[in-house]
Amino acid sequence: MAETPQDDIVGMEQFNSLPRRVVVTYIPLAIFVFVLLFPFYWMAITAIKPDHQLTNYNDYSPFWVVQPTLDHIKFLFFETSYPGWLWNTVVVSVASTVIALAASVFAAYAIERLRFTGARVTGLLIFLAYLVPPSILFIPLAFIVFQVGIFDSRLALILTYPTFLIPFCTWLLMGYFRSIPFELEESALVDGATRWQILTKVILPLAVPGLISAGIFAFTLSWNEFIYALTFISSSENKTVPVGVLTELVRGDIYEWGALMSGALVGSLPVVILYSFFVDYYVSSMTGAVKE
């Protein structure tokens, strides 16, 4: 009688031993976490280091703090315009994100669900528009901003940021709307629903994770944008955090390292908090919408 062939493939059991788990999982994960979090650690310790410890590596280690101080943070909030920069960044980011999401929802829905001639080409062109470098667009946009008369105002940034937010959000929402079954929309049409009712009562409730994901990306891009904010804003009170920290805390060859790191650390916290609150929606948007 012939012997039954044995399968030598063990599968995931090969990772059960501790040495293999250390080599395959723990070490790569530790390296990834270190590379990801070390800049934040460096910003945090620099923000609370006294000035005499910032460059004196002979007497003090650069990797931890002796006698921490809050002088840099006090200087940042009470002797500079940083609170105003922070408020400007919040207003600009929120307003531009809302505008971009509103326009992207209509564009993505029209391209993916209405099935008009040239829809795919239109979607491809919208995505290609996102690939155009901002360093090329800010020159013609600067001319328009001057002509309209909104230079050196938050409105200049609110109206120009959607030029790079809308293409990206539209492309992202197109992929999410594509994963929603067409049968739901066809059933609503049979029941007499209008396109507006389908969009607001069927598609958007199912697309909440995708909307949140697109909103997080748009908010992050707006929060960290530098070129437009540097070009269209000149007065100190209207600057955003990325521009204000760089232009106001660097005086010639004098770098206020403690204040710079404090500003960078505080400026990154809203984005971190935003991601932490909506991480579940963000992950679900990466795995699709509704199963057929």
- Same-domain check for residues 104 and 181: yes
| Helix runs in 179-240, H state only | 182-190, 195-198, 204-206, 208-224, 227-232
Q: Is the pLDDT of residue 292 over 70?
A: no
Give the model confidence (pLDDT) of 103-121 as tens digits: 999 999 988 888 778 888 8
Maximum Cα–Cα distance across the chain: 92
- Same-domain check for residues 157 and 80: yes
Quick check: is 6 in a domain? no
**Gap between the Cα atoms of 211 and 195, Å rounded:** 19
- Cβ–Cβ under 8 Å, residues 111 and 224: no
Quick check: is 292 in a domain? no
- Same-domain check for residues 34 and 125: no
Nearest CA among 141, 104, 100 for reference residue 227: 141
Give the model confidence (pLDDT) of 10-57 as tens digits: 555 555 677 788 888 889 999 999 998 898 899 899 899 988 888 888
Quick check: is 2 in a domain? no
Residue 93 is predicted with a pLDDT of 95
AA identity, residue 26: Y
The whole-number average pLDDT for the span 172-201 is 87
Cα angle: 100, vertex 270, 98; to 5 degrees: 15
Q: CB under 8 Å to 182, separation ≥6 — which residues?
A: 113
Residue 274 is predicted with a pLDDT of 83
Q: CB under 8 Å to 172, separation ≥6 — which residues?
A: 104, 210, 213, 214, 217
The whole-number average pLDDT for the span 126-138 is 81
157 three-state secondary structure: helix
Q: Is the pLDDT of residue 223 over 80?
A: yes
Nearest CA among 244, 260, 235, 219 for reference residue 75: 260
- Same-domain check for residues 168 and 245: yes
Q: If you average pLDDT over each of 6-20, 193-207, 246-260, which comes out highest?
A: 193-207
Quick check: is 8 in a domain? no
- Same-domain check for residues 56 and 119: no
pTM tops 0.75: yes
Q: Could you tell me the residue range of the domain that residue 36 belongs to? A: 14-69
- Same-domain check for residues 30 and 86: no
**Gap between the Cα atoms of 239 and 66, Å rounded:** 34
Give the model confidence (pLDDT) of 278-288 as tens digits: 777 666 655 55
**Gap between the Cα atoms of 273 and 285, Å rounded:** 19
